[in-house]
Amino acid sequence: MALQVSSAGFPMVVHRRRGGGGAFGARAVSSESLTTVKGGEEEKVKLGGSDVKVTRLGLGAWSWGDTSYWNDSGWDDRKLKAAKAAFNASIDGGITFFDTAEVYGGMFMGVVNSETLLGSFIKERQKVDSVEIAVATKFAALPWRFGPGSVVSALENSLSRLGLSSVDLYQLHWPGIWGNEGYIDGLGDAVEKGLVKAVGVSNYNERRLRDAYERLKKRGIPLASNQVNYSLIYRAPEENGVKAACDELGITLIAYSPIAQGILTGKYTPENPPTGPRGRIYTPEVLAKATTTFDC
């Protein structure tokens, strides 16, 4: 299963679930703004007020090329083949939404940029398959980046690595220490230049989310999405006002790590914790508590 293959930040466009059904049925909810669109063999959903439609599930490429958090600090041909296999298995399974970022595997985090890998996988796949693929990537709000031009320039570099003329969704990866209004303006400029079809944010709290929404609204551009950490064992968006704001404003909530970096797959136990940095987060004690929770 493609879902099992990529435990690395597998983003999922989650939708409202009505009624009960299991211990978590009543609480397994998310953005009410999602519009279901039936197209082809699978259902797709619309991102906020934009015209972009993506599959309900997406494959996150955080781990591709990374040596700082994933892959036990190493990247080799075997892991490259596994990443490519995950990409192809996802498409074969009807999942055609892929999420990456300029910092994944690049800058200070690895040996091969994730965008470069994704671009190469897309190019090779489209030689034999005309499947429509939706690509999302992200801008790193680094403290030495200022103004709208920094966003447009970063996106142009991302497009070069991806080998694309535009992407479906461009997101601010996290709020900057300063200059956030300029970053939001950069998203608007990118839309007007035809470099991206929809724009979003990631890791934005309720206040920042509302500010970004209002600033883009003045230009007639919808804020399509907010990508946040959200899973059955991390429910903060339901409690901190983020999900409610998304529902109110018509912004799609995209959940990253919905299987908690592999913890919810059943692969890991207190006796078999994950390796690397994940092992310092998901300790045997945490895993024992999670196991107890889901055995209820």
The mean pLDDT value of the chain amounts to: 85
Structure tokens at 186: 């950069």
At 109 the pLDDT is: 72
21: pLDDT confidence band, cut at 50, 70 and 90?
A: very low
What is the spatial order of strands in the sheet that 35-39 belongs to? 35-39, 42-46, 53-55
pLDDT tens digits along 130-176? 999 999 999 999 999 999 999 999 999 999 999 999 999 999 999 99
At 294 the pLDDT is: 64
Residues 6 or more apart whose CB falls under 8 angstroms from that of 289 comprise none
pLDDT tens digits along 234-250? 999 999 999 999 999 99
User: What residue ranges define each of the domains in the chain, with the CATH number in brackets?
Assistant: 2-263 (3.20.20.100), 266-296 (no CATH)
Residue 251 has pLDDT above 60, yes or no: yes
Residue 1 has pLDDT above 60, yes or no: no
Q: Are 150 and 186 within 8 A, CB to CB?
A: yes
At 113 the pLDDT is: 87
Q: Which residues of 81-103 are buried (b: 16+ CB within 10 A; e: fewer)?
A: ebbbebbebbbeebbbbbbbbbb
Q: Which residue has the higher pLDDT, 223 or 106?
A: 223
Give mean pLDDT, residues 222-228.
98
Give mean pLDDT, residues 262-266.
89
Write out the catalytic residue numbers. Answer: 104
CA 211 to chain centre: 21
At 296 the pLDDT is: 53
Residue 264 has pLDDT above 70, yes or no: yes
Instruction: For tokens 């690895």, name the residue.
Output: 110
pLDDT tens digits along 28-38? 334 444 444 44
Q: Which residue has the higher pLDDT, 10 or 62?
A: 62
